[in-house]
Structure 1
Amino acid sequence: MDQVSLRAEPRTDFGTRPSRRARLAGTVPGVVYGRGLDPVAVSVPRRELHAALHTDAGTNALINLEVAGSQNFLTVAREIQRHPVRGDIVHLDFINISLDEKIHAEVGLEFIGVPVGVRVDAGILETIRGSVEVLAFPMDIPSHIPLDVSAMEVGDNLKVSDLAPIDGVEFVDDPDTDLVSVIIPRVVEAAAVEAAVGEAEEGAGAAEAAVDGGAGSAESPDEN
């Protein structure tokens, strides 16, 4: 697991306006939390924070938070709040951790291979869950979790229980949780349904014609 260093300044002003001023100055407000630790309000440089959260470990990077005039904290970023339009981080929590204690983390899946149902049957790979929750010591948290999808056919799905075991990592999600499936594209499905309906209507029309024709034949002797 990657470790990165991040400078931080303590904050003494709180509320919406001070936070807005901090963001305009190119910093992001945050709070350091931890067991037996009084919350510490900080602000961190936006660009450095962006770099810290864009290593291979992503948001699970171990951040050595260097707070000016205070102690350093080994942390992970959690409760990341983003601007609804721009996507910029506007606030986050730093959770103080110990390398000797397991923590929960959300880890992204990496799909390996191209499904048979995609290559042969023109299906599509539908992602139901792009990540799973794990429990592990901080240094054992993987940057991603591989999942081989190459043998999947149309109608197949893979679950948490299909993930290959990883030493030191426990999957927290229900083993029956669906992760990915191979389906026929909805446009194709709709066309197939329309075709089936059309065939059914044609069949019904032919049957009605046959019935009408039969009825006419049955009445013709009476006309004589």
Structure 2
Amino acid sequence: MKRYSLKVEKRTELGKAVKKLRREGVIPANIYGKDIKSQAVQVTLKDFMQVYVEAGETGLVDVKLGKDTIPVLIHNVHTNYKENVLHADLFKVNLKEKVKTMVPLEFTGESKAVVDKIGLLMYIVSEVEVEAFPTDLPENISVDVAHLANIDEQITVGDLKRPEGVEILSDAAQVVAKIGELISKEAQEQAAEEAAAAEAAAAESAETVEGEAVEPKEGEETPSEGEQKGSAEPVTEEKAPEEKQEG
């Protein structure tokens, strides 16, 4: 496994003062680990990026701090919305102890389903968690997708070829890549039109006009005022006959 070298210096600027460092092309970093007290350090952005683009977060880096050489993994690289690096953590490792970290997947080959225009290749995950000694950590794990030829064919974590000395911790049933249905442009447009028509119909049926009278159907009469709905004639009260008094 290739090892990288990175020269850093002790850092005295803390808190908001690190903004001055960034303006000078220097980024703040921290060295930390199980058996080391956290140390504030700084490194030029140029030197850091030269190492980081190759080592990533799985490459073993020998940090040179004064007369000391500290083996680390680069962790937690913070960037701003412009993707400029703001800060990085340097995790000291024990070369005799296994570590857990995320390793990126590298997809190779061209899916037969894509070549034959049968389906669409979908990438579900881009990295997996592994455990290994620092010197055994791979830069990536290769995934060959050339054999995927039909709809719903897939590759899972359990199908990945495990590098020697590396244990993959991610769920073996997790889908890594699969072939989905190929939807034509015409089908997409038709689906959009149908959805729009259904939405318009639903809105029309739900619309009500407040205060509008209901039109009677042909042959029906509209009840006049004073009539009770459902009665043919108005209801009248009959008076009882008066009793004749004898006198």
Map of 2:47 onto structure 1: 48
Structure 2: segments with no counterpart, 5+ residues: 195-247
- Unpaired runs of at least 5, structure 1: 198-224
Q: Give the distance between the partners of 1:193 and 1:171, measured in 2 at CA.
A: 44
Deviation, structure 1 residue 19: 1.3
2:173 pairs with one of 160, 171, 176:
176
**Residues 33-72 of structure 1 correspond to what in structure 2 (within 5 A)?**
33-55=32-54, 57-68=55-66, 71-72=68-69
In 1, the alpha carbon distance for the partners of 2:69 and 2:98 equals: 20
Write out per-residue CA displacement over residues 179-216 of structure 1, whole angstroms, 9 at most, x where no aligned residue.
11122345559449649x7xxxxxxxxxxxxxxxxxxx
The residue number in structure 1 matching 2:24 is: 25
Compute the displacement of 1:78 (Å): 0.3
The structure that has the greater radius of gyration is 2
Q: Which one-letter code corresponds to 1:114 in the other structure?
A: E
Q: State which of 93, 97, 104 in structure 2 corresponds to 1:97.
A: 93
Counterparts of 1:1-224 in structure 2, within 5 Å, are 1-16=1-16, 18-55=17-54, 57-68=55-66, 71-84=68-81, 86-152=82-148, 153-188=150-185, 190-191=187-188, 194=191
Q: CA RMSD in A?
A: 2.5
Distance, in Å, in 1 between the alignment partners of 2:11 and 2:24 is 13
The one of the two structures with greater contact order (alpha-carbon pairs below 8 A, sep at least 6) is 1
Q: Decide whether the 8 Å contact of 2:106 with 2:143 is kept in 1.
A: yes
Q: C-alpha distance in 1, partners of 2:145/2:186?
A: 22
CA, structure 1 residues 161+188, in 2 after alignment: closer, same or farther (shift >3 Å)?
farther
Encode CA deviations 1:49-85: one digit per residue, 9 max, x unaligned: 0001122x433221111123x622111100110112x
- Measure the CA separation in 1 of the matches of 2:134 and 2:187: 47
Assess if the C-alpha contact under 8 Å between 2:56 and 2:74 holds in 1.
Answer: no
Distance in 2 (alpha carbons) for counterparts of 1:123 and 1:22: 51
With the length of structure 2 as denominator, give the TM-score of the two structures: 0.72
Structure with a larger share of its residues in helix: 1
After superposing on structure 2, the runs of 4+ consecutive aligned residues of structure 1 that deviate more than 6 Å are: none
Q: Does the 8 A contact of 2:59 with 2:138 survive in 1?
A: no
Instruction: Please tell me the residue identity of whatever aligns with 1:155.
Output: D
3-state SS, counterpart of residue 164 of structure 2: coil
CA distance in 2, matches of 1:192, 1:11: 58
Q: Please list the CA deviations of residues 13-61 of structure 1 after superposition, one character each: whole Å capped at 9, or x if unmatched.
A: 2102x11111111111011001121100000110000001122x43322
Count, aligned residues: 195
Give, in whole Å, the separation in 2 of the partners of 1:189 and 1:174.
38
SS in 2 for 1:53: helix
Conservation of the 8 A alpha-carbon contact between 1:52 and 1:61: no
For residues 128 and 160 of structure 2, the distance between their equivalents in structure 1, rounded to whole angstroms, comes to: 10
Q: Which string of whole-angstrom CA distances, capped at 9 and with x for unpartnered residues, describes residues 107-147 of structure 1?
A: 22122321121111342221111111111111111122111
What SS class does the counterpart of residue 173 from structure 1 fall into?
Answer: coil
CA–CA separation in structure 1 for the residues paired with 2:184 and 2:22: 45
